[in-house]
Chain A
């Protein structure tokens, strides 16, 4: 079974620029999550999708972050404009259904200069 795929693996941008991350979940997984993991901390949930609908985006900084999962499969997370404090690893995870174990991709490491 192929795992959760994320790209790019690394991204370096200057503050105030925009950036986008892509995630392809495990086939058949209805639930998709985006997390932010700051160095030395555990992952913090940004947004959760059930199929193509948003279940929870209460922790998403909506003034600069956006995410979509238009066809209920792949998802993109965008930051515009980026701030220095956005430097982190952005992890995508998927699960068969809500409240089922989550499977993580290897993440995108974002550095803001």
Chain B
């Protein structure tokens, strides 16, 4: 998506932490989302953060939001081979969501 930018690829070793980064342009966004897409499947909602928060933790997932820089990150602790997928960042404002083009995460054993 032209308003949401993500790096295309990330490769990590099993057990390491993964950090996937995203930048967005609309400072009026109310929610920011992370979705996971496995081959042949739709997008699975992983987590989301409201724009007035700067951090959210949910088990192995940590989301950090820097509103000043319009930067969002997703950290996956203890990455497993089952985490291999495409991860999409999305911003939402007035119920309209704009998605990035996804980051392909490859986890090597």
Query: A interface vs B, CB < 8 Å?
Result: 4, 6, 31, 40-45, 48, 55-56, 91, 93, 95, 98-99, 101-107
Closest residue of chain B to A56 (Cβ to Cβ) is B96
Residue interface mask B1-23, A partner, CB < 8 A = 1: 10010000000000000000000
- Residue numbers in B under 8 Å from A107 (CB-CB): 41-42
| Distance of A13 Cα from B1 Cα, bound (Å) | 27
Is there contact, CB below 8 Å, between A42 and B99? yes
Is there contact, CB below 8 Å, between B42 and A44? no
Interface flag for B66 (CB, 8 Å): no
- 19 A–B contact pairs at CB < 8 A? A4-B42, A40-B101, A41-B1, A42-B4, A42-B101, A42-B102, A44-B1, A45-B97, A48-B96, A56-B96, A91-B42, A93-B43, A99-B30, A101-B45, A104-B42, A104-B45, A106-B40, A106-B41, A107-B41
| Distance of A104 Cα from B88 Cα, bound (Å) | 13
Is there contact, CB below 8 Å, between B96 and A104? no
Of the residues B41, B45, B99, B100, contact of A103 by C-beta under 8 Å:
B45
Most A C-beta atoms less than 10 A away, residue of B44, B90, B95 = B95
- Residue numbers in A under 8 Å from B33 (CB-CB): 101-102
